[in-house]
Amino acid sequence: MIRSKSKVSKIIVIGDKGVGKSNIVTRFTQNEFSLESSSNPMINIYTDVKIKPFRFPEIRRSVIRGEEDDLKFHIWDTESQDALRSTDLYFKGCHGVLLVYDVTKQESFENLEKWVEIIREHLSDAKILLVGNKSDLHHLKTVCTEDGQAFADSKGITFYEASALDCTNIKDAFEELLQTVV
Ligand code: GTP
């Protein structure tokens, strides 16, 4: 008899305040978007987020072999408190990081170097995926796509421009990251 098991992978979302981290997560997990910024300093943990294995041939193979019957993810997001994002608790047991900046806020792009350092201090080999969020705000864009791509290339990480507001690339970015940590 083939015994099945399930594996849970932990993903954290990180980046400057207000870049849209919470909305990216709620767009992916619940297809919801809010115009408000939350002011509760807390960690939200979205448990048992699942992806459909059939999209990914590598995963499907192991499902067919009966090694995995569930692919589950816990997605951690902090609200309104930068300090929480650098704690050991936040990074502990993490497999993948969604690193976010705001394409209309140059400073959030410049701070990416600092975020990559913090991530690497805690996690030597976790997968990182870079998202330039708020791509719907074309007229306010101050970080061009080429600069986002060049930064990602320099760190050897995958890059998407995305919008939690109009849904552009949210699913693709998340699924690509989730796929690499299974
Ligand atoms: P903190 O938890 O405070 O660090 O913020 P956050 O990074 O989680 O950002 P949040 O999701 O709270 O969004 C901040 C603001 O940006 C809110 O007013 C959102 O409505 C807005 N926002 C988030 N994503 C997008 C987007 O893709 N496009 C636009 N136009 N606005 C967005």
pTM of the model: 0.86
Strand bridging mode 96-102 / 42-50 = unpaired
What is the C-alpha to C-alpha distance for residues 136 and 94, in angstroms, rounded to an integer? Answer: 30
| 90-100 per-position pLDDT tens digit | 888 889 999 99
| 16-58 per-position pLDDT tens digit | 999 999 899 889 888 889 887 665 545 566 665 655 544 444 4
What ipTM describes this predicted complex? 0.99
Q: How much of the chain exceeds pLDDT 70, in percent?
A: 71
What per-residue confidence (pLDDT) applies to 116? Answer: 94
Tell me which residue has its CA closest to atom 22 in ligand 1.
Answer: 20
Cβ atoms of 24 and 98 within 8 Å: the answer is: yes
Ligand 1 pocket, residue 104 CB under 6 Å: no
What per-residue confidence (pLDDT) applies to 39? Answer: 56
